[in-house]
Amino acid sequence: MAAWDPSVYRRNAAYVPELGRPLLDLLAPRPGELVLDLGCGDGGLSIELAAGGAQVIGIDASPAMVAAARARGVTACVADARTLPFDAAFDAVLSNAVLHWIREADDVLVSVRRVLRPGGRFVGEFGGHGNVAAIVTALTAVLARRGIDAAAVNPWFCPTPDDYAARLERAGFRVREIALIPRPTPLPTGMRGWLETFAGRFFDALPPADRAKTMDETIALLRPALCDAHGRWTADYVRLRFAAVLDA
């Protein structure tokens, strides 16, 4: 994944932790429970969890994001979701807007299972099947014009509910609920801000001299579908939200 810059992320994507709040109700943490925030970013959701009385530890693969979370008072460390450095330690694991960045989904599930105590819950939300489909289609078209296969550089794993439920069960979880939730999402800094924040892998596949023009072409292709008459952009997010549990 590209190196995350917390200030750029906050400017372009502050809605990510805000729109993750429904997960707190789904998790229903009890006071004193120990919860792992998997992919805590700069700690926005960890702070809300802690405000409800849970003890929270955040992990993130980005040192800059972990530093930003710590600066807000969150207990956080740098770690890889596929190899979490804990054993049977947590009552619950929460993850918002992270799992679509890790193609080795089964490794993550084995790792999450290992850090949970018996009866532990795993609640999360990430990009599901069809997520940002228009954006992916536009990126595919502009890269194809330059002889590049976007599928080969697409970093995102966006499964169907059936696919992910089967993976959860194979990893030893019982699935309590799982569903796709279309969530058109207004973009505070437009499509350019979104592409700059999240779609770096596609543009990195190009020679530097071609990147600006390719971005302009992507935005032009998307304008009719995702930009309204007032110049307001909306991304075609589709979330996969789930709650799963281990046997006690």
Residue 218 engages ligand BEZ in binding (rule: CB under 6 A)? no
SS3 per residue for 28-91 = CCCCCCEEEEECCCCCHHHHHHHHCCCEEEEEECCHHHHHHHHHCCCCEEECCHHHCCCCCCEE
- Spatial CA neighbour of 142 closest among 213, 226, 199, 214: 214
**Which residues in the 84-123 window bind ligand BEZ by CB under 6 A?**
97, 100
Among the listed ranges 1-9, 105-113, 124-132, 167-175, the one in contact with ligand BEZ (CB under 6 A) is 124-132
Closer residue to ligand BEZ (CB): 100 or 113: 100
The DSSP bridge pattern shows strands 234-245 and 174-186 to be: antiparallel
Among residues 122, 157, 202, 237, the one that binds ligand BEZ under rule CB under 6 A: 237
Among the listed ranges 87-95, 108-116, 126-134, 165-173, the one in contact with ligand BEZ (CB under 6 A) is 126-134
159 neighbors 168 (Cβ within 8 angstroms): no
Residue 241 engages ligand BEZ in binding (rule: CB under 6 A)? no
79 neighbors 65 (Cβ within 8 angstroms): no
Q: Strand, coil or helix: what is 215?
A: helix
Residue 198 engages ligand BEZ in binding (rule: CB under 6 A)? yes
Minimum CB separation of residue 97 from ligand BEZ in Å reads 4
Among residues 156, 161, 201, 210, the one that binds ligand BEZ under rule CB under 6 A: 156
Output the residue with the shortest Cβ distance to ligand BEZ.
127
- What does the alpha-carbon distance between residue 65 and residue 76 come to, in Å, rounded to a whole number? 9
Closer residue to ligand BEZ (CB): 100 or 121: 100
Closer residue to ligand BEZ (CB): 86 or 156: 156
69 neighbors 54 (Cβ within 8 angstroms): no
Residue 132 engages ligand BEZ in binding (rule: CB under 6 A)? yes
Closer residue to ligand BEZ (CB): 65 or 116: 65
Residue 203 engages ligand BEZ in binding (rule: CB under 6 A)? no
Residue 131 engages ligand BEZ in binding (rule: CB under 6 A)? yes
Q: Is 184 exposed, middle or buried (0-12, 13-18, 19+ CB in 10 A)?
A: exposed
Residue 178 engages ligand BEZ in binding (rule: CB under 6 A)? no
- What does the alpha-carbon distance between residue 86 and residue 94 come to, in Å, rounded to a whole number? 15
Residues in contact with ligand BEZ by CB under 6 A are 97, 100, 127, 131-132, 156, 198, 237
